[in-house]
């Protein structure tokens, strides 16, 4: 089965062609980062317009690079939500029209489920069951994944997502957007233990997160101290990142112990943070737990993961019709 995947939930217009749910024939991403970085974050109206401009060229390139013809496509999968409504409408509306015109089944994919599927696209994916963390600019959720269709939500952020916190702290220090890669690069040069930022909810038995207090603590520190030199900013970055990664890895380990699970997978944009992957792996190895992280090309928003999840939905008959709409928020 060959599925065309389309992703437009935020600031990347992406299309991919995936065969049998696991073989990526092509994956094309048109990033809007250069446009949004000057504003310090994603501007929804601009994102929607740029998706409308990019969707046809991106899909055409994905089909061409896959080496197939339109007649070879067996189904279409597109992100239905969560995300920015205007951005989602561009990709999902295009997918509706494409599927209707060619009389193909259409899967409306949950973006969070798709991030979990990025782990299943790895050369050596985790076996079921496993603990999955979806950590990005908009989401920080922990799931117990027991099958290709079963995702038990164990915990989620009560306020800011981890990636959102990275972006806001970077903006506070005038370091630009997106904040994750900037913070990680700065942090490599400093001792993360110098500034003692709080670890919210770390002492609680549950698996929820909270990063708004940490963000506020960084803001107070920047207000009370003279942060001028690159070294000053790097020190704040290192200590802030250490606080975020400590909470993420501790909660993940607690979830794995609670479920007696020996496999942890991390996905989403923040999973590309190598400091996080190294820290989590070091902690997990002590307890015989394997850590899985997709390649960088699958960490951020992409259409290959949409097509992979859409494959299983179409096989189950879980499809959409022209009356279905997008949604901005949901939980799985």
pLDDT for 228-284, tens place per residue?
899 999 999 999 999 999 999 999 999 999 999 999 999 999 999 999 999 999 999
Q: Residue 229 is encoded by which pair of tokens?
A: 């030199």
Give yes or no for residue 3 having a pLDDT over 80: yes
Q: How far apart are CA 236 and CA 39, in angstroms?
A: 23
Q: How far apart are CA 236 and CA 228, in angstroms?
A: 11
Sign for the CA dihedral angle at 301, 184, 211, 245 comes to: positive
User: For residue 271, what pLDDT is reported?
Assistant: 93
pLDDT for 116-128, tens place per residue?
999 999 999 999 9
Which residues have a Cβ under 8 Å from the Cβ of 188 and sit 6 or more positions away? 238, 275
Give yes or no for residue 285 having a pLDDT over 90: yes
User: For residue 202, what pLDDT is reported?
Assistant: 75
Which residues have a Cβ under 8 Å from the Cβ of 161 and sit 6 or more positions away? 135, 136, 137, 138, 139, 140, 211
Give yes or no for residue 332 having a pLDDT over 60: no
Q: Structural domains in the chain?
A: 2-115+299-316 (3.30.420.40), 125-293 (3.30.420.40)
Rounded to an integer, the average pLDDT of 318-323 is 94
Indicate the pLDDT class of residue 331, thresholds 50, 70 and 90: low
User: For residue 138, what pLDDT is reported?
Assistant: 86
The SS3 assignment for 169 reads helix
User: For residue 46, what pLDDT is reported?
Assistant: 93
Q: How far apart are CA 299 and CA 134, in angstroms?
A: 10
Nearest to 179 by CA among 264, 272, 283: 272
Sign for the CA dihedral angle at 117, 122, 123, 128 comes to: negative
Q: Kindly report the average pLDDT of the chain as a whole number.
A: 95
What are 264's strand-pairing partners? 131, 291
Rounded to an integer, the average pLDDT of 294-320 is 97
Worst-scoring range by mean pLDDT, 29-38, 59-68, 120-129, 266-275? 29-38
């Amino acid at each position: 089965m060959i599925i065309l995947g389309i992703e437009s939930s935020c600031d990347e217009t992406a299309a991919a062609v995936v065969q049998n749910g696991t073989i990526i024939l092509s994956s094309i991403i048109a990033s809007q980062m250069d446009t949004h970085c000057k504003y310090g974050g994603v501007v929804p109206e601009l994102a929607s317009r740029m998706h409308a401009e990019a969707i046809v060229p991106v899909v055409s390139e994905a089909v061409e690079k896959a080496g197939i013809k339109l007649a070879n496509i067996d189904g279409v999968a597109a992100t239905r939500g969560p995300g920015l409504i205007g951005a989602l409408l561009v990709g999902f509306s295009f997918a509706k029209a494409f599927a209707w015109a060619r009389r193909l089944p259409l899967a409306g994919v949950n973006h969070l489920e798709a991030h979990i599927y990025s782990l299943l696209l790895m050369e050596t994916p985790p076996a079921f069951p496993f603990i999955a963390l979806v950590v990005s600019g908009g989401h920080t959720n922990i799931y117990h994944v027991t099958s290709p269709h079963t995702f038990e939500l164990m915990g989620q952020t009560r306020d800011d997502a981890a990636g959102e916190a990275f972006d806001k702290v970077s903006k506070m220090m005038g370091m630009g957007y997106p904040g994750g890669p900037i913070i990680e690069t700065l942090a490599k040069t400093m001792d993360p233990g110098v500034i003692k930022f709080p670890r919210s909810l770390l002492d609680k038995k549950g698996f929820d997160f909270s990063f708004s207090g940490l963000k506020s603590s960084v803001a107070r520190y920047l207000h009370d101290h003279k942060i001028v030199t690159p070294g000053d900013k790097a020190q704040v970055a290192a200590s802030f990142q250490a606080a975020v990664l400590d909470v993420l890895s501790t909660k993940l380990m607690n979830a794995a112990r609670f479920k007696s699970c020996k496999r942890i997978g991390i996905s989403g944009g923040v999973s590309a943070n190598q400091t996080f992957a190294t820290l989590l792996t070091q902690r997990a190895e002590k307890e015989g737990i394997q850590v899985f992280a997709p390649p960088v090309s699958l960490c951020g928003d992409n259409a290959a993961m949409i097509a992979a999840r859409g494959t299983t939905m179409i096989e189950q008959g879980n499809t959409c019709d022209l009356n279905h709409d997008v949604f901005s928020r949901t939980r799985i």
